[in-house]
Every structure is written in structure tokens, then in C-alpha cells.
Copies of this chain bind each other. A is one copy, B any other.
Amino acid sequence: MYSIGELSKRTKVKVPTIRYYEEMGLMAQAERTDGNQRRYDNAGLERLSFIRQARDLGFSIEAISSLIELQEHPDRSCEAATNIAVPQLADVRAKIKRLKTLEKELARISKACDGDGISGDCYVLEALADHGLCDRKH
């Protein structure tokens, strides 16, 4: 049996976050000692690891809740899990695309101003202030 702190160390999920996940229903209510401290078995450790993995992959608490329900009902279609994972993949791809655009623009404005000037002539500030200027330079 693990205390919440031990669970935290093993999964790298913070103690308050574990409590939060319990409140959100992702973790089952833990058994308690006579002193009201949570104690987790291996199933609890596995559940938290699952949650951690999914969070790291960007799944929302809600999506993880759905995945967990599927896990608890092995008779349900795997399609349901894929229906959660595939939009998540699309979301990640959209974010990458957007961030690449941002990167390009930030790189442009960062490079163009080498820090020599005064802010009155600052290209960073000008680029933010004048989107028309930005467009022309693309």
C-alpha cells in the first residue's frame, strides 16, 4: 500500500494534483487509515500512471475520464477510444502548424532588431504595432 506522497514520487504527479484527480473522479476514492490518510494499492498506482500518460499526451480531464470508463468496460468498442485519440492527434497537428507560423514570425522580428537601437526605432515594437508592415515583409 502506498501513501499519497509515495504515489507522487513514483508517478511524478504532485500530491495536490492527485487529490484534484480524485475530486474530478479520475482516481477512485482511496482507502483510508484510521487517521484518515489515503492509502493506494497497485491498481491506484496503475490508474495514476495512466492518467499521467494521457495528460502528457494532452488529453483533457474529460477525455481521460472517457478513456477510463472504456477501460472499465472491456466489452465496449475500441472505436470509442480511437474516437478520442484521433481528434487529439488532429489537435496536436493544428497546434504544431500554428506554432510554426508563430516561430517564423517571432524569429523574423527577433532577428531584425539586434538590440542596438532605442525603443523609439524598435522593430519588435513596430512589427507588433503595424500588421500592415508585417504583411509586406513576408
Contact = CB atoms under 8 A, between A and B. Distances in A.
Contacts of A85: 106, 109-110, 113, 124
B53 A131 contact: yes
B53 A119 contact: no
A80 interface: yes
A82 interface: yes
Interface in A89-138: 89, 92-93, 95-96, 99-100, 102-103, 105-107, 109-110, 113-125, 127-129, 131, 134
A106 B103 CA distance: 23
Given A75-B118, A95-B99, A113-B78, A50 B128 contact: yes
A118 B74 contact: yes
Nearest to A123: B78
Contacts of A57: 102, 105-106, 128
A5 interface: no
A125 B54 CA distance: 10
A90 to B, nearest CB: 9
A119 B89 contact: no
Interface string A8-36: 00000000000000000000000000000
